Structure 1
Amino acid sequence: MVGGTLPARKVMVVADPSRDSAAALQYALSHVLVENDTLILLHVENPNNSAWKIPFSAIFKRPSNGSAAASQRNPSTFIEGVIGAGGTNVGVEGEGTIDFLEAMKHACAIVYPNLKVQTENMGMDGKDKASVILAQSKAHWVELLIVGQKTTLSNAILGSRRRSLRGLDTAEFLIQNSQCTCVAVQRKAMGGYLLNSKTHKNFWLLA
């Protein structure tokens, strides 16, 4: 550390047009990233998944006037307004949709104007999603991998007792197999985040 500046890191957020992914980015911006970091937004495209064809306006809201200044005072509060449940069109001049990677990048730029943000759009090429993510995190020398995690009945019941890799969801598989630190993020309706990693299970973090 020189002159009180934290060492720059590479942080990867798994990006897709879902509330889970939006929550992962929200957590990264409000609790993890600083402006000298590099953020990589990685999307692994699954051509068989029709869910990716929905308008992203259901997840991202257009920030109101003056929100950029508010973001400097409280990034977490600002991201609540940009990434959340429902919202207005984020399309350009009346268009109904916008590329979600660009929408995420735009949200990052408003909160941290000097943050280096890269976007990567990868195909699966016959592999599973988790394997592609692991390969890309290794190729980019990522120090922290962040992924949104769905709340499922099996996760709620089994929690940290679920040890076998067989049948694990993508987030759980990444936690167990990533060479860098991997954090799975769930945004809770009552506020805050539920975080899972190799060292922390169901860790509650207030927003």
Structure 2
Amino acid sequence: MTSSMANGGGKPAQRRKVMVVAEPTRESAAALHYVLSHVIFDNDILYLLHVENPNFWKNKISCFIKQSSTSSSTPDARESIGCNVGGGGGCLGDNVDFLDQMKSACELVHPKLKVKVSKVESEARDKGYVIISQTKVLGIDLLVVGKRQSLSNAILRQRRNGSIRGETAEYLVQHSKCTCVAVQRKGQNGGYLLHTKTHRNFWLLA
């Protein structure tokens, strides 16, 4: 079942187009970690898609990208994708483009991987529809999105930072024409909880 998810619904090994919904959040970082450690191959194409609310970016970006736990990561890659909250390490600031840093981290972990960054603008209520439209335009085989663990926290934090809400991830899982995996990370070394249209609460060790 794990390989079926990673291969976009059981497709034979070939050059695939994988998309990660990219945001400056822990949940988005977890989705990227999952893709880099369990899904992507060097001959694939990885798209980092950010749907920007034009009314949101007037506020300060808060980023909590966790350190990657993949054994294949280099120290430079782990540093690039890492963020220690509460001291002892750096975090993305206002002057750093988190998409550029995500792209650099991907290239450090998989030097031969082709990574493309895409930005589109949309109001928050249309985010799910826009993401699905982009998967169709680009011919995406597998869509991966981070999902918040707490709906109450999602609602509160959505008002502050406009990030992916639990219901948006669920919308993508249910309506995406390609295979969509919603990812929740359980602690630094606790593995991943995966959600697809056909498999709910599938546990995958890190």
Q: Which of 3, 19, 22 is residue 26 of structure 2 equivalent to?
A: 19
1:123-202 map, 5 Å: 123-124=121-122, 128-153=126-151, 169-189=167-187, 191-202=190-201
Change (3 A) 1:126 1:173: closer
- For residue 48 of structure 1, report the CA deviation from its aligned partner: 3.0
Query: Which letter maps to 1:104?
Result: M
Fraction of identical pairs, as percent = 49
How far residue 49 of structure 1 moved from its aligned partner, in angstroms, is: 3.1
> Which residue does 1:29 correspond to in 2?
36
SS in 2 for 1:40: strand
Decide whether the 8 Å contact of 2:15 with 2:43 is kept in 1: yes
Does the 8 A contact of 1:89 with 1:97 survive in 2?
no
What's the counterpart of residue 88 of structure 1?
90
User: What per-residue deviation string (whole Å, max 9, x for no partner) do you get for residues 80-118 of structure 1?
Assistant: 653455331456xxxx64101100000001000110000
Secondary structure of residue in 2 paired with 1:53: coil
Give the Cα separation in 2 of the matches to 1:60 and 1:51: 24
Counterpart CA distance in 2 for 1:54 and 1:15 is 13
Supply the distance in 2 between the matched residues of 1:60 and 1:75 (Cα, whole angstroms): 13
Larger Rg: 1
Q: Which runs of 5+ in 1 are unaligned?
A: 64-69, 155-166
Equivalent positions of 1:98-113 (< 5 A) are 98-113=96-111
Q: Could you say what secondary structure the match of 1:17 adopts?
A: coil
Q: Distance in 1 between matches of 2:131 and 2:55?
A: 18
Normalised by the length of structure 1, the TM-score is: 0.75
